[in-house]
Amino acid sequence: MLENLKDGLVNNVWQAVAGRRKESRSAPSAALVVAPSVSGSVGDAALIVGTTEALRAAGYQRVDILTPETEDDWPVSVTPDHTLCLPGLLMRGGRGALMRMAFAMRDYEALYVIGADIIDGIYSHQRALARIRLMQLAAQGGLQTVLVGASISEAPKSACMRALGQLPGSVRINARDPLSAQRMVPWLGRMPSIAPDAAFLIPPPVEREAPEAEAAWLARMEHAGLQPVVVNVNGGQAYKKPALAEAMGRVIDGLLARRCAVMLLPHDSRKPGDEEICRHLAEQRGASVRAYQGPMDPLSIRSVLALVPIVITGRMHVAILGLTTGAVPIAVVYQGKFEGLFQLFDLPVEDLCRQPDAVIADPESLLACYDAAVANLSRHADAVRRALPTVTEAARMNVLAPGSPRSRLSVEAGRPPREPAET
């Protein structure tokens, strides 16, 4: 009962502040973007860049980000007007932080929470519930509230999915792929909007070029008659399954035997990250293998991916950044989130995706994916080129213009009509 009273106090504070929110349209329209995690991930940075730039293009005059930690160090392409951090809010959902947040939200008319692969609680149910609670309070306080492109894994946390299903009907819930949308239906009682990953909205390359040393190395390898290939090894997956690093080493050796030159591209500098494992795999091999040494910035990473036709990756946003350049991805998949992405581009999962355990058991199975991609490169590249404009335009559904009518999609009150097994 005491907990209910405390929650009621938080609700009352938000309602009281909402009643005094400035309604003057002479003030710049402002949106707050909630970062998916702490800094250190190229994918998370790409999501923030794509969302903030799309909001500015939609007409917001001020776009700020809310980050979990004060010491977050985002790459240079992340350019919010202001950065806000309330300790305890996004990591724990503390009531004190939520009440302080009510006063901070007086300056905004919209809240955009990047769902990515975290909102189903697969990494931390506490952090997912904190974001869902923030969306609930914002919507009840009259703010335009949007869940930006979320994927749902094969085994989401029930508490998080129930909380999503109980959000006010004014909250716009966007799944970032068709499979995730289908997984949401039992909990929401309806089909959510499908808006692909916000990283598809990062600005098109204009002046930014690939880091000089990386571009020069790729050019030398191609001049020597080798086919450049970018390979990413997911350090997080390798930490859970140490044999994966050895298996990926055998995959690299197989690529070298096919007269490829391999650039090992990290995605995550957080521990356990990708950088150390990429360096280690490169040091064990000769001059035709190089660990990427350029900035850990999504625009720099994308500019390197634009120089190769095929990318092999264990990180989804390496695949997405590659797709924005026309590169064909091969994926070491996990959590059931790559399959929906490949579906958007009509790329065959059975030919281009492998589970980590399958790669560990037989590294040749991933090399078979590479051989299939080479044999069908023209067809797959055409599929990517055809789908990319449609996918990019659909990703803009993540963003509403300032003053747009709130979504009125109905959600049944109470619990969803059917609940999968508790996880």
Least confident stretch, 53-67, 69-83, 143-157, 369-383: 69-83
Proportion of the chain in helix, strand, coil states, percent, rounded to 5 = 45, 15, 40
Tell me the angle at which helices 212-223 and 298-305 cross, rounded to the nearest 10 degrees: 10
Task: Tell me: do 352 and 238 sit in the same domain.
Answer: yes
Collapsing DSSP to helix, strand or coil, 420 comes out as coil
Q: Considering the chain, what is the average pLDDT of its residues?
A: 88
Higher pLDDT, 10 or 264: 264
pLDDT recorded at residue 20: 57
Task: Tell me: do 224 and 313 sit in the same domain.
Answer: yes
- Rounded distance, CA 322 to CA 381, Å? 11
CB atoms within 10 A of CB 280: 14
Task: Tell me: do 229 and 197 sit in the same domain.
Answer: no
Q: Judge whether residue 306 has pLDDT over 70.
A: yes
Domain membership of residue 130 (yes or no) is yes
Task: Tell me: do 197 and 294 sit in the same domain.
Answer: no
Q: Judge whether residue 416 has pLDDT over 60.
A: no
What is the domain range of residue 86?
11-202+394-398
Domain membership of residue 404 (yes or no) is no
Higher pLDDT, 76 or 115: 115
- Rounded distance, CA 342 to CA 390, Å? 14
Strands 328-332 and 260-264: unpaired
Domain membership of residue 195 (yes or no) is yes
Domain membership of residue 207 (yes or no) is no
Task: Decide if 294 contacts 211 (C-beta within 8 A).
Answer: yes
- Rounded distance, CA 28 to CA 342, Å? 39
Structure letter (DSSP) for residue 396:
G
- Asked if the bond preceding 211 is cis, omega within 30° of 0, the reply is no
Task: Tell me: do 45 and 159 sit in the same domain.
Answer: yes
* Residues 110-119 pLDDT 10s: 999 999 999 9
pLDDT recorded at residue 305: 96
Backbone φ/ψ region at 234: left (φ over 0), alpha (ψ -120 to 50), beta: beta
Task: Tell me: do 221 and 171 sit in the same domain.
Answer: no
Collapsing DSSP to helix, strand or coil, 108 comes out as coil
Task: Tell me: do 252 and 155 sit in the same domain.
Answer: no
The number of domains in the chain is: 2
Task: Tell me: do 221 and 193 sit in the same domain.
Answer: no
Domain membership of residue 383 (yes or no) is yes
Confidence of residue 422 (pLDDT cuts 50, 70, 90): very low
Confidence of residue 25 (pLDDT cuts 50, 70, 90): very low
Task: Tell me: do 223 and 166 sit in the same domain.
Answer: no
Domain membership of residue 403 (yes or no) is no
- Rounded distance, CA 44 to CA 57, Å? 20
> Among candidates 187, 166, 176, 60, which has minimal Cα distance to 118?
176
pLDDT recorded at residue 421: 43
Q: Judge whether residue 407 has pLDDT over 50.
A: no
What's the predicted TM-score (pTM) here?
0.90
Task: Tell me: do 266 and 358 sit in the same domain.
Answer: yes
Task: Tell me: do 150 and 226 sit in the same domain.
Answer: no
Q: Write the burial class of residue 381 (CB in 10 Å: 0-12 exposed, 13-18 middle, 19+ buried).
A: middle
Task: Tell me: do 43 and 178 sit in the same domain.
Answer: yes
Q: Using the Cα atoms of residue 371, residue 372, residue 378 and residue 383 in order, give the sign of their dihedral.
A: negative
* Alpha carbon distances (Å) from 266 to 60, 274, 314: 33, 5, 10
Higher pLDDT, 404 or 198: 198
Domain membership of residue 4 (yes or no) is no
Least confident stretch, 30-39, 93-102, 184-193: 93-102
* Residues 364-403 pLDDT 10s: 999 999 999 999 999 999 999 999 999 999 999 999 877 7
CATH number (domain holding residue 333): 3.40.50.2000
Domain membership of residue 409 (yes or no) is no
